[in-house]
Amino acid sequence: MLVGIGHSPLPSRAAEAFLTAQNSDTVDVVDLGLARVVATIPVPGAPAGIALSPDRASVYVTAPEGKALVVIDAASRRVARTVALGGGPLGVGVNPVSGAVYVADWYAKRLWEVDPKTFAVAAEIPVGTSPSGVAVTPDGRFLLAADRDDDALSLVDTATRQRIAVIPVGTRPFGVTIDPDGRRAYAANVGSNDVSVVDIAARRQVGRVTVGERPYAVAIAQGRAFVTDQYGGTVSTFDTATLAPGPRLEVGEYPEGIQASPDGKTVYVANWESNTLTVIDAASLTVTGTVKTSDGPRALGQFLR
């Protein structure tokens, strides 16, 4: 079986990054200790979104032009399976409890739920227009999808597979991230150049923070939010308790995917136009390294292993 669906002990630090490189139709494997690409996996179809199984044994990649979900065996670094979906698969998220895989269809108001054992489509879940980023709460009970063209997030009950709330946010939300406690979600609003802070239990936006131009995605570490500003070539930061803005860090050109290491000490940023992965020390807010990648790294989702 390719995917473990139970809880497994995870290392405090990520050892590898799996980066979707859309322009080169590949997924790069970056050894974070060596700070270099150690494998390149061919994935046709302009790979974009990425997520990992709960045990980190499998990597799920969306191929929008291939209209498929590609499953990579992380240990062998080979494509293990391709699941035909149709439509425009973009964002992808994994239920950390059940292992269910949720894929956003950019061209339709739906998510596909893919069974991690059979790789059959178990359900189609109605959401809003042009769903992009997908995130699941740590307890596996709820899912949030960023409905870009509705300026809203869909809140889905994963047990019933029903949308139970529509939460208005800023203009054109794209990436969505849930904090480790499962209390708040952060939506990067590409159109309004800000981040919406959402109280999940209350099902409403409780704050908006101005960031750089064309924010794409958010990572949470050290009590701060880190936001990729595509047009600025920067990562904006703000305090998650007070929402006070912090320093803005220079990274590569057109930063998109971003994720914090499990221990919260390091933040990794995929820069689409400069073909690099930037390494940020989350405590000191300094750039500590840059890794050259294949052409067009996007890494929308969870890419650290």
From residue 91, give the alpha-carbon distance in Å to each of 103, 204, 230, 296.
6, 22, 17, 17
Percentage of the chain modeled with pLDDT above 70: 96
- Using one digit for the tens of pLDDT, what is the confidence trace for 90-129? 999 999 999 999 999 999 999 999 999 999 999 999 999 9
Q: How many CB atoms lie within 10 A of CB 44?
A: 14
How far is it, in rounded angstroms, from Cα 79 to Cα 281? 32
- Using one digit for the tens of pLDDT, what is the confidence trace for 136-165? 999 999 999 999 999 999 999 999 999 999
From residue 194, give the alpha-carbon distance in Å to each of 132, 209, 247, 304.
17, 5, 15, 25
In the block, residue with structure tokens 């790789």: 119
How far is it, in rounded angstroms, from Cα 171 to Cα 159? 29
Output the pTM of the full model. 0.95
Q: What is the pLDDT of residue 147?
A: 98
| Residue 284's pLDDT band (cuts 50, 70, 90) | very high
| Residue 12's pLDDT band (cuts 50, 70, 90) | low
Q: What is the pLDDT of residue 3?
A: 31
* Residue 240 near residue 233 (C-beta atoms within 8 A): no
How far is it, in rounded angstroms, from Cα 112 to Cα 103? 5
Task: Give the architecture (CATH level 2) of 16-301.
Answer: 7 Propeller (2.130)
The residues spanned by each domain of the chain are 16-301
